[in-house]
Amino acid sequence: MRALQNILYSTATIIMVLNLSACSRDNSDLHEYIKTTKTKHVGSVKPLPQFKPYQNFSYSAAELRDPFEQAFEADEKERTSDIKLKTERPKEPLESFPLDTLRMVGILEQNEQTWGLVKDPNNVVHRVQTGNYLGLNDGQIITVTEKQLDIIEIIPDGIGGYIERNAILAIGSD
């Protein structure tokens, strides 16, 4: 048993000596590679940019109009207009959609009556004629032609009254 232990210790000693001798081998090629790599990748870091120091700005609006006050006083006769919303009439189906979401897709002619075909955002096609209403601003159809619907909308004027605005719903308009 002792002889076996001596053989194992001898073998282990020989292996350690061989490993240590491998480390003392010539490593000049490794040192040369490290040297060339360091010289290739030598770079310079750009200096940080110079920032201008912050300069205070004093904003003085004492002589300007207060943005929360009314810009001008409207005359009482300007505030009242002859245009009134027609609230007593029942709403038509196309009045629940904004005018820019409606599309004129064609016309129908029957007994010298021209009907416009209007598609809503739900892809439902409606038949309309002169006098029908559409859009959110009480838009009433004035004329129906082959190419378009002429509409008059009633919109707020911003000073308590209403004004009429012309609009067109052209065929194939997007």
Per-residue pLDDT tens for 26-36? 778 888 888 88
Pairing of β 125-128 and β 113-119? antiparallel
| Cβ atoms of residues 131 and 140 within 8 Å | yes
pLDDT at residue 71 above 80?
no
* Comparison of pLDDT for 83 and 131, the residue scoring more: 131
pLDDT-derived band at 112 (thresholds 50, 70, 90) equals confident
* Comparison of pLDDT for 100 and 59, the residue scoring more: 100
* Domain parsing of the chain, residue ranges: 2-31, 83-170
Q: Residue 23 has what pLDDT?
A: 60
Q: Residue 56 has what pLDDT?
A: 85
Measure Cα distances from 128 to 114, 140, 144 in Å: 9, 10, 9
Q: Order of strands, edge to edge, in the sheet holding 139-144?
A: 133-134, 139-144, 148-156, 162-170
Per-residue pLDDT tens for 31-56? 888 888 877 766 677 888 898 888 88
> Has domain 83-170 been given CATH number 2.30.30.830?
yes
* Comparison of pLDDT for 41 and 119, the residue scoring more: 119
Pairing of β 162-170 and β 148-156? antiparallel
| Cβ atoms of residues 104 and 169 within 8 Å | yes
Q: Residue 29 has what pLDDT?
A: 83
- Which element (helix H / strand E) includes 139? strand 139-144
What CA–CA distance (Å, rounded) separates 141 from 168?
9
Phi, psi of 150 (to 5 degrees): -95, 130
∠ CA 40-30-16, rounded to 5°: 155
Average pLDDT over residues 104-125: 92
Provide the 8-state DSSP code for 23: H
Supply the mean pLDDT for the chain.
83
Q: Among the listed ranges 58-72, 90-104, 128-142, which one has the minimum average pLDDT value? A: 58-72
Q: Residue 57 has what pLDDT?
A: 79
What CA–CA distance (Å, rounded) separates 94 from 127?
10
